Chain A
């Protein structure tokens, strides 16, 4: 990765924990163009012909392999729209690490909108990790609007960890999923907003066939004047189980709306939701202070553990 600067590497570390060229297949996109790519025997990455983006094709029975597809934006005024389609073969077991980091030190808006579509084959297992992070002292906005569509075939398993670490001025996340028989989906969403940032996360999980299951766990911290809206929806169209949990810590002058919706179109659908918004508990702060931490240190530990 000799063409990458120290700044690029810092961003790659923040969004994908990459310190060197990843093992296995990868595609690195910088300022709206692919700059480095490798396919392997079982994982083919190819650019799309008619629009920006890549197809990631994972062969059947591919086990214990990984794909890294980080995106970095280091220029101001970049508007990057990209379509990435994942075709994950039957019986495979893979790790996919995505993520986008923006360094915008200029005065114009930089935006990355990643549209990811997952086709997960029968009995396949996928772990997907996506981290979003932005930095830079400029006045230009840093915007990330990811769209994620997931189609899960019979008895497949997918765990998605979607994290917005800090620095993103505005985000609208759209996530949808359709689950066939026996498919299991776990979504862990972690979000922190500060300053005047705003974040909205809409999710619709359709449990279409019998014995499908979904667990959505959303944890967020809103600081300063930031605003967050969560709208996760689980729809049971068959015998299925789903659990939606939204948990937020609110601080300073922030505002949070949490609207979990559960909907059943079948009498054997079991769907539960829980939602809570509250400030940091005083008993927690006092306990950590009795262990020698200052109030500020205690607050930081509570937040970082909550979002871990």
Chain B
């Protein structure tokens, strides 16, 4: 179980404190598939970075399976079984896909297993194994490899920051199927930041983060209709005909 207790993250900018994440309480039980959604700039990415330890909260406590991890390093959290797929993955000159997946796996990963992970993210070619993770890869390719690095690990909690961004429709379908498999397996807890309906629909629960706060939180069949309703009325042009 992951527990966030009164977690805040403030930055000091132009002479004043700005709350990026403001006093959030959140519990994520083991095996849950949670989608975090909400407007851009609302604090979603900051919230998951706090969970991975990429940044430290200015106040509040984070517990993972009862252990206080608030001050643990990224490396220590990785050893506890927390994984993180970046929204904008880093590129590495000279580091091959095979090597990166082997590092993720924690030892040399046989080529056929590597290929199996790549296939799950829509990269079917064996050629990718020896490709370097440099600027020769497209944005979509590098995102898929990033997701494969989480699949190659034994995780207790997997965090994905907008995995769908930059991925074409074909690969997106494969990705959704991949997430469906993970959900069926229920082996790891999953937190995904997403704006995609197809990903939200496979969630157990949706949390809406906006203006640094948890503005809504509940089972998918309760939250999802509310989101559609809100979006439907988002601007005058999209109002329902009877209201015009």
Contact = CB atoms under 8 A, between A and B. Distances in A.
Q: Which of B52, B91, B95 has the most CB of A within 10 A?
A: B95
Contacts of A290: 52, 54, 74, 78, 83-84
B58 to A, nearest CB: 20
B93 A306 contact: yes
B5 interface: no
A301 B88 CA distance: 20
B75 A295 contact: yes
The size class of the interface chain B forms with chain A is 20 to 34
B74 A286 contact: yes
A247 B94 CA distance: 12
A288 B94 contact: no
A308 B93 CA distance: 10
Interface stretch (B99-107, B193-201, B223-231): B99-107
Contacts of A292: 75, 78-79, 106
Given A292-B106, A301-B103, A287 B90 contact: yes
B132 to A, nearest CB: 8
A256 to B, nearest CB: 16
Contacts of B99: 305
A4 interface: no
A219 interface: yes
Nearest to B79: A292
Interface of A: 219, 247, 281, 283-284, 286-295, 301-302, 305-308
Interface of B: 52, 54, 73-75, 78-79, 83-84, 86, 88-96, 99, 103-104, 106, 149, 153
Given A219-B94, A283-B86, A287-B86, 20 more contacts: A219-B93, A283-B90, A284-B91, A286-B54, A286-B74, A289-B75, A290-B54, A290-B74, A291-B103, A291-B153, A292-B78, A293-B75, A295-B75, A302-B95, A305-B93, A305-B94, A305-B95, A306-B92, A306-B94, A307-B94
24 contacts: A219-B93, A219-B94, A281-B90, A283-B86, A283-B90, A284-B90, A286-B74, A286-B90, A287-B86, A287-B90, A288-B103, A289-B78, A290-B74, A290-B78, A291-B83, A291-B103, A291-B149, A292-B79, A293-B75, A294-B75, A295-B75, A301-B103, A305-B93, A307-B94
